[in-house]
Protein backbone atom coordinates (compact mmCIF):
# COMPACT_ATOMS: atom_id res chain seq x y z
CA UNK A 1 0.00 0.00 0.00
CA UNK A 2 1.49 3.35 -1.00
CA UNK A 3 2.04 6.25 1.36
CA UNK A 4 -0.80 8.38 -0.09
CA UNK A 5 -3.43 5.73 0.57
CA UNK A 6 -2.13 5.11 4.09
CA UNK A 7 -2.35 8.83 4.88
CA UNK A 8 -5.95 8.99 3.65
CA UNK A 9 -6.93 5.98 5.79
CA UNK A 10 -5.27 7.53 8.84
CA UNK A 11 -7.16 10.82 8.38
CA UNK A 12 -10.45 8.96 7.94
CA UNK A 13 -9.90 6.96 11.15
CA UNK A 14 -9.06 10.14 13.05
CA UNK A 15 -12.26 11.84 11.90
CA UNK A 16 -14.38 8.85 12.96
CA UNK A 17 -12.83 8.77 16.45
CA UNK A 18 -13.23 12.55 16.81
CA UNK A 19 -16.88 12.34 15.79
CA UNK A 20 -17.58 9.64 18.37
CA UNK A 21 -15.83 11.65 21.10
CA UNK A 22 -17.85 14.80 20.36
CA UNK A 23 -21.17 12.93 20.28
CA UNK A 24 -20.45 11.20 23.61
CA UNK A 25 -19.46 14.49 25.22
CA UNK A 26 -22.64 16.33 24.21
CA UNK A 27 -24.51 15.01 27.30
CA UNK A 28 -21.92 16.14 29.85
CA UNK A 29 -24.08 18.94 31.26
CA UNK A 30 -26.93 16.68 32.43
CA UNK A 31 -30.28 15.46 31.27
CA UNK A 32 -32.56 16.85 28.54
CA UNK A 33 -33.40 19.95 30.59
CA UNK A 34 -29.80 20.67 31.55
CA UNK A 35 -30.36 19.35 35.08
CA UNK A 36 -28.82 16.35 36.81
CA UNK A 37 -28.68 13.21 34.73
CA UNK A 38 -31.03 10.60 36.23
CA UNK A 39 -29.25 7.58 37.67
CA UNK A 40 -29.75 3.97 36.57
CA UNK A 41 -33.42 3.00 36.60
CA UNK A 42 -34.49 6.50 37.69
CA UNK A 43 -37.52 7.88 35.81
CA UNK A 44 -37.07 11.33 34.35
CA UNK A 45 -40.67 12.43 34.91
CA UNK A 46 -41.89 14.14 38.05
CA UNK A 47 -44.96 12.83 39.84
CA UNK A 48 -47.33 13.61 42.69
CA UNK A 49 -48.09 11.13 45.44
CA UNK A 50 -51.16 11.27 47.67
CA UNK A 51 -50.59 10.22 51.28
CA UNK A 52 -53.60 9.00 53.27
CA UNK A 53 -52.97 8.65 57.00
CA UNK A 54 -55.62 6.74 58.96
CA UNK A 55 -55.32 6.52 62.75
CA UNK A 56 -56.49 3.66 64.95
CA UNK A 57 -55.29 4.66 68.40
CA UNK A 58 -58.22 3.34 70.43
CA UNK A 59 -58.70 2.73 74.14
CA UNK A 60 -59.95 -0.77 73.31
CA UNK A 61 -56.58 -1.72 71.82
CA UNK A 62 -54.51 0.36 74.28
CA UNK A 63 -56.37 0.39 77.62
CA UNK A 64 -53.36 1.03 79.89
CA UNK A 65 -53.45 4.69 81.00
CA UNK A 66 -55.16 5.65 77.75
CA UNK A 67 -55.02 9.48 77.52
CA UNK A 68 -58.20 11.51 77.25
CA UNK A 69 -56.55 13.87 74.74
CA UNK A 70 -54.98 11.31 72.40
CA UNK A 71 -54.09 12.77 68.99
CA UNK A 72 -51.39 13.03 66.34
CA UNK A 73 -49.67 16.04 64.92
CA UNK A 74 -48.32 17.93 63.25
CA UNK A 75 -48.29 15.56 60.25
CA UNK A 76 -45.14 15.92 58.14
CA UNK A 77 -44.34 14.54 54.69
CA UNK A 78 -40.92 15.07 53.12
CA UNK A 79 -39.81 14.24 49.57
CA UNK A 80 -36.04 14.05 49.57
CA UNK A 81 -32.87 12.82 47.92
CA UNK A 82 -31.76 9.21 48.52
CA UNK A 83 -28.64 10.35 50.35
CA UNK A 84 -30.69 12.29 52.92
CA UNK A 85 -31.99 10.39 55.97
CA UNK A 86 -34.54 12.13 58.22
CA UNK A 87 -34.38 9.35 60.78
CA UNK A 88 -33.21 5.74 60.94
CA UNK A 89 -33.94 2.97 63.42
CA UNK A 90 -30.81 2.10 65.37
CA UNK A 91 -29.33 5.59 65.02
CA UNK A 92 -29.48 8.62 67.31
CA UNK A 93 -32.07 11.23 66.41
CA UNK A 94 -30.66 14.35 64.79
CA UNK A 95 -31.21 17.70 66.45
CA UNK A 96 -34.08 18.43 64.09
CA UNK A 97 -35.72 15.04 64.56
CA UNK A 98 -35.37 15.38 68.34
CA UNK A 99 -37.20 18.71 68.26
CA UNK A 100 -40.06 17.18 66.31
CA UNK A 101 -40.34 13.99 68.38
CA UNK A 102 -40.30 15.85 71.69
CA UNK A 103 -42.56 18.81 70.97
CA UNK A 104 -43.83 18.52 67.39
CA UNK A 105 -41.58 21.37 66.27
CA UNK A 106 -41.82 21.25 62.47
CA UNK A 107 -40.11 24.61 62.03
CA UNK A 108 -37.16 23.34 64.04
CA UNK A 109 -36.95 20.20 61.91
CA UNK A 110 -37.13 22.17 58.66
CA UNK A 111 -34.61 24.73 59.88
CA UNK A 112 -32.19 21.96 60.86
CA UNK A 113 -32.45 20.33 57.44
CA UNK A 114 -31.96 23.65 55.66
CA UNK A 115 -28.98 24.60 57.82
CA UNK A 116 -27.34 21.21 57.45
CA UNK A 117 -28.06 20.52 53.80
CA UNK A 118 -29.00 23.74 52.06
CA UNK A 119 -32.31 25.42 51.38
CA UNK A 120 -35.24 23.48 49.90
CA UNK A 121 -34.62 25.17 46.57
CA UNK A 122 -31.25 23.43 46.33
CA UNK A 123 -33.19 20.30 45.45
CA UNK A 124 -32.36 18.09 48.43
CA UNK A 125 -35.82 18.07 50.03
CA UNK A 126 -39.33 19.46 50.01
CA UNK A 127 -41.47 19.45 53.16
CA UNK A 128 -45.26 19.74 53.58
CA UNK A 129 -47.48 19.58 56.67
CA UNK A 130 -51.08 18.55 57.21
CA UNK A 131 -51.98 19.82 60.68
CA UNK A 132 -53.06 17.52 63.50
CA UNK A 133 -55.48 14.61 63.55
CA UNK A 134 -57.44 12.65 66.13
CA UNK A 135 -57.06 9.13 67.50
CA UNK A 136 -59.55 7.70 64.97
CA UNK A 137 -59.59 9.79 61.82
CA UNK A 138 -58.10 10.26 58.38
CA UNK A 139 -55.94 13.06 56.99
CA UNK A 140 -54.70 13.52 53.44
CA UNK A 141 -51.70 15.33 52.00
CA UNK A 142 -49.51 15.05 48.91
CA UNK A 143 -45.87 15.43 47.92
CA UNK A 144 -44.11 15.97 44.60
CA UNK A 145 -41.18 13.78 43.66
CA UNK A 146 -38.49 14.53 41.10
CA UNK A 147 -35.60 12.61 39.52
CA UNK A 148 -33.38 13.79 42.38
CA UNK A 149 -35.97 13.50 45.18
CA UNK A 150 -37.13 9.88 45.06
CA UNK A 151 -37.66 9.13 48.76
CA UNK A 152 -40.66 9.92 50.98
CA UNK A 153 -40.42 10.19 54.76
CA UNK A 154 -43.60 10.49 56.83
CA UNK A 155 -43.87 11.62 60.47
CA UNK A 156 -46.76 11.84 62.94
CA UNK A 157 -45.95 12.72 66.55
CA UNK A 158 -48.06 10.95 69.16
CA UNK A 159 -49.70 13.31 71.68
CA UNK A 160 -49.28 13.13 74.58
CA UNK A 161 -45.98 11.25 74.82
CA UNK A 162 -42.37 11.80 75.86
CA UNK A 163 -41.03 11.43 72.29
CA UNK A 164 -43.08 8.75 70.54
CA UNK A 165 -44.06 9.00 66.89
CA UNK A 166 -45.31 7.07 63.89
CA UNK A 167 -43.20 7.14 60.77
CA UNK A 168 -42.07 5.78 57.45
CA UNK A 169 -38.39 6.37 56.69
CA UNK A 170 -37.08 6.96 53.16
CA UNK A 171 -39.77 5.08 51.21
CA UNK A 172 -38.38 4.52 47.69
CA UNK A 173 -40.90 5.45 44.99
CA UNK A 174 -38.70 3.90 42.26
CA UNK A 175 -39.23 0.25 41.38
CA UNK A 176 -36.71 -0.70 38.71
CA UNK A 177 -37.42 1.71 35.86
CA UNK A 178 -40.97 2.62 36.90
CA UNK A 179 -42.66 4.47 39.74
CA UNK A 180 -44.54 2.67 42.50
CA UNK A 181 -48.31 2.91 42.02
CA UNK A 182 -49.46 2.27 45.58
CA UNK A 183 -48.20 0.97 48.91
CA UNK A 184 -50.09 0.45 52.19
CA UNK A 185 -47.98 0.45 55.37
CA UNK A 186 -49.05 -0.44 58.93
CA UNK A 187 -47.66 1.98 61.51
CA UNK A 188 -46.53 1.22 65.07
CA UNK A 189 -44.92 3.63 67.55
CA UNK A 190 -41.24 4.53 67.57
CA UNK A 191 -39.30 5.85 70.55
CA UNK A 192 -37.01 8.69 69.46
CA UNK A 193 -34.64 8.07 72.39
CA UNK A 194 -34.67 11.72 73.45
CA UNK A 195 -36.78 11.81 76.63
CA UNK A 196 -36.98 9.08 79.30
CA UNK A 197 -40.37 7.73 80.28
CA UNK A 198 -42.80 4.87 79.66
CA UNK A 199 -46.09 6.66 80.23
CA UNK A 200 -47.91 9.11 78.00
CA UNK A 201 -47.28 12.08 80.28
CA UNK A 202 -43.76 11.09 81.36
CA UNK A 203 -40.78 13.42 81.23
CA UNK A 204 -38.14 11.70 83.34
CA UNK A 205 -35.16 13.55 81.94
CA UNK A 206 -33.07 13.37 78.82
CA UNK A 207 -31.66 10.21 77.35
CA UNK A 208 -29.29 9.53 74.51
CA UNK A 209 -30.61 6.31 72.99
CA UNK A 210 -31.05 5.15 69.42
CA UNK A 211 -34.44 5.37 67.71
CA UNK A 212 -36.30 2.09 68.19
CA UNK A 213 -39.66 0.45 67.67
CA UNK A 214 -41.57 0.88 70.94
CA UNK A 215 -43.66 -2.19 71.79
CA UNK A 216 -43.81 -1.94 75.59
CA UNK A 217 -46.55 -0.66 77.88
CA UNK A 218 -48.67 1.41 77.73
CA UNK A 219 -49.21 0.21 74.16
CA UNK A 220 -51.11 -2.96 73.46
CA UNK A 221 -53.43 -4.93 75.69
CA UNK A 222 -50.96 -6.44 78.13
CA UNK A 223 -48.99 -8.13 75.35
CA UNK A 224 -46.66 -6.99 72.60
CA UNK A 225 -48.43 -4.53 70.31
CA UNK A 226 -50.11 -6.43 67.49
CA UNK A 227 -52.69 -3.94 66.28
CA UNK A 228 -51.23 -1.02 64.29
CA UNK A 229 -51.80 2.45 65.70
CA UNK A 230 -52.15 3.87 62.21
CA UNK A 231 -51.90 3.13 58.50
CA UNK A 232 -50.33 5.07 55.64
CA UNK A 233 -51.30 4.64 51.99
CA UNK A 234 -48.85 6.11 49.46
CA UNK A 235 -50.50 6.33 46.03
CA UNK A 236 -49.36 7.86 42.78
CA UNK A 237 -51.74 10.58 41.60
CA UNK A 238 -50.22 11.33 38.17
Of residues 59 and 39, more confidently modeled: 59
| Predicted local distance difference test score (pLDDT) of residue 117 | 65
| Residue 222 pLDDT grade (very low, low, confident, very high; cuts 50, 70, 90) | low
Find the range with the poorest average confidence among 25-39, 63-77, 128-142, 185-199.
25-39
Task: Look at residue 118 in the predicted model and tell me its pLDDT.
Answer: 57
**Angstrom distance (rounded) from CA 144 to CA 126:** 8
Q: Is residue 15 part of a domain?
A: no
Q: What is the CATH number of the domain that holds 138?
A: 2.60.40.2130
Q: What is the pLDDT of residue 203?
A: 87
Cα 37 → chain centroid: 22
- Is 66 among the domain residues? yes
The answer to the question of residue 164 being in a domain is yes
Give the contacts of 137 (CB within 8 A, at least 6 positions apart): 54, 55
Query: Can you tell me the mean pLDDT for 143-148?
Result: 93
- Asked whether residue 34 is domain-assigned, the answer is no
- What is the average per-residue pLDDT within 191-203? 94
Average pLDDT over residues 65-84: 93
Cβ-contact 141, 130 below 8 angstroms: yes
Tell me whether residue 219 is in a domain. Answer: yes
Chain segment 78-130, per-residue pLDDT in tens? 999 998 899 999 999 999 999 999 999 999 999 998 887 655 445 688 999 99
User: Do the domain assignments include residue 100?
Assistant: yes
Residue 54 lies in a domain: yes
**188 vs 7, which has greater pLDDT?**
188
215 pLDDT higher than 90: no
Report the number of distinct structural domains present in the chain.
1
Residue pair 51/78 in contact (Cβ under 8 Å)? The answer is no
Residue 224 buriedness (CB in 10 A; 0-12 / 13-18 / 19+): exposed
C-alpha span between 14 and 25 (Å, rounded)? 17
Q: Is residue 106 part of a domain?
A: yes
Judged by DSSP in three states, 236 sits in strand
Residue ranges making up the domain that contains 162: 49-236
Amino acid sequence: MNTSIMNKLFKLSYLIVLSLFVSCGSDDDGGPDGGPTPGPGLPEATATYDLTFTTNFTEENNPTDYPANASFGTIVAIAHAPELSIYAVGQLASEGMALYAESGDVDGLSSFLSTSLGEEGDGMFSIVTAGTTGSQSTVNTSVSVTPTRTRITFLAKLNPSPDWFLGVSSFNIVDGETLVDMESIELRPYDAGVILGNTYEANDGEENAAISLYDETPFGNGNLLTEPVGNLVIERAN
